[in-house]
Structure 1
């Protein structure tokens, strides 16, 4: 009696039958479906429209296409975030199992070639690698420099030119002195040392 009542209740409630799960549709997918329907109806209206109405319908169509493109991009980002979250959870749950699934099963291969065959087999080699190449006339030869390279200390005019480009409201350093003042003092010291050195060389000994 109890079994009969239980079977009757399960049949009415549908407990014994397998319930099919309907995939959940996101908000972006719903809006994309609505926008696609509007776009199809707009195409039909465009065929029947007059020449005066077509420019306005074209503008509406372009706006709908941009909106659909934006929604599809947002949906792709949502799927990527969901996939990344799932993979992150799987990795933190069991890193070794995650890596084994990612890299695949272990494969055992057997090398059938002998050691001598492997050594004789030259793939990345050039028999003429030691030969010297001849000069090619097609190569571009740059002209000799006309101005010698200046390796001396910067002059006072160059320092002043750089300081003019620097902002006057630069923040001071740890010592409380602004950047422009530090550069100016350094330039004055360098110029003074260079001048004294040249004067010492000119003085007779």
Structure 2
């Protein structure tokens, strides 16, 4: 690898500093003052060049990582944050069930909240919700965009099988039924829980967390339903896409917001201004919101 002009000059300055240092050791008292001043000038020049070189390398590295993130945000984030999870979860079934009950239950879930003046009226939808049986194209689109590495459900069939075997992509096989009754939806929503310890623990304490990956076939069904619901919301202008980016087709999820924040931070650095960035995250969001409020919002 060839050195650039700045790196070559840094090497030259190092050699000159060493030569001046040797001369300083052999010089008399009258010469030492001038040699010491010359060495200080050379060192300052070298330090400035080294600082500029570090900035150049950091800028190049940031650009490389930014390009990797834009090309594949999931892969870049996984490579950055993924690692061996620390610790083991040691708990009985009774404790786990109690944890789930306390975390996700709402003792007042059937209590009527009354009227809320802050809920704005919305016009009647111009485009109705698609309630037809899932089509083969909808199933194929979901399977095509799904990750092959996704964990399969209790049936043991991963997405890779659906990708490689087109005969599995029939609407009835992939969605198990058209599911027009609520009882059928509840049956499809059945899932298994996977408990694990969080990767970063303070003082060795292990926090129980949960994740519910449904079967791949159920993932296909609910992915289709989610797409239809999103289309229904956007087609009727029920979602303000200038604010809400996640889960909306045509937007790069959080990339736009991240780019704006990165630009603001860069401008604050260049202009030497103060900037405060606050990240908000709701702990146990579903467990802290009244379930009746969610029901009323869906009905509304």
Query: Which range, TM-score by smaller chain?
Result: 0.3 to 0.5
User: Which protein has greater RCO, CA pairs closer than 8 Å, 6+ apart?
Assistant: 2
From the CA coordinates, give the structure whose radius of gyration is larger: 1
